[in-house]
C-alpha cells in the first residue's frame, strides 16, 4: 500500500442490485487487505440475502435504524455506533426500519471484489 488521502466523492455512489447504494471509499488492488464502502439503504428496504466467499465483513452503523440478520445470530436491531461482525460465508441481510436512510460502513477483509459476492436470496440459482 502507498500512503494516500482518498477524498469522499458522493457523486460516485451507485445502486447495487442487493438493494442498497454504495460509495467505494477505499477498494484497490494496491491495498488488498481491506476495502471500505459507504452503504445506504432507503427507508422500508431490506437488502437481499447474500454472503461473501473467503471475505469477512463488518458493518459499522453511522445513521438510521435497522434490523440485521446474520447466519448464526438472532436478528437484532442496530443503530449508530453498533458494529456487526460477519464471518466469511455467513448469509446476511439488513433492513431499514426507520424513516431516514440507514447508513453504514462495510469493511471487508480481504478487500471486496465482485467474485466474492454470492446472491443467496431464496428462489435464485445460488440458494
Q: Are 110 and 52 in contact (CB under 8 A)?
A: no
d(C-alpha 37, C-alpha 28), whole Å: 12
Tens of pLDDT, residues 107-118: 999 999 999 999
Cell numbers describing residue 54: 473467503
- Is residue 13 over pLDDT 90? yes
In the predicted structure, residue 123 carries a pLDDT above the cut 80: no
State the pTM of this model: 0.93
* Domains of the chain, residue spans: 16-118
Q: 118 vs 76, 88, 103, 115, CA distance in Å?
A: 23, 11, 22, 8
pLDDT for residue 18: 95
- Burial class of 27 by CB neighbour count within 10 A (0 to 12, 13 to 18, 19+): middle
pLDDT for the residue numbered 67? 98
Report whether CATH 3.40.1280.10 matches the domain 16-118: no
Measuring CA to CA, which residue among 95, 99, 94, 91 is closest to residue 119? 91
Amino acid at each position: 500500500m502507498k500512503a494516500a488521502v482518498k477524498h469522499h466523492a458522493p457523486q460516485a455512489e451507485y445502486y447495487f442490485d442487493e438493494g442498497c447504494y454504495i460509495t467505494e471509499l477505499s477498494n484497490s488492488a494496491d491495498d488488498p487487505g481491506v476495502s471500505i464502502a459507504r452503504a445506504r439503504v432507503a427507508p422500508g428496504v431490506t437488502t437481499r440475502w447474500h454472503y461473501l466467499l473467503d471475505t469477512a465483513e463488518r458493518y459499522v452503523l453511522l445513521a438510521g435504524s435497522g434490523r440485521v440478520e446474520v447466519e448464526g445470530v438472532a436478528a437484532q436491531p442496530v443503530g449508530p455506533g453498533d458494529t456487526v461482525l460477519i464471518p466469511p460465508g455467513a448469509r446476511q441481510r439488513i433492513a431499514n426500519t426507520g424513516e431516514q436512510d440507514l447508513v453504514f460502513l462495510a469493511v471487508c477483509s480481504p478487500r471486496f471484489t465482485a467474485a466474492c459476492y454470492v446472491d443467496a436470496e431464496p428462489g435464485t440459482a445460488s440458494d
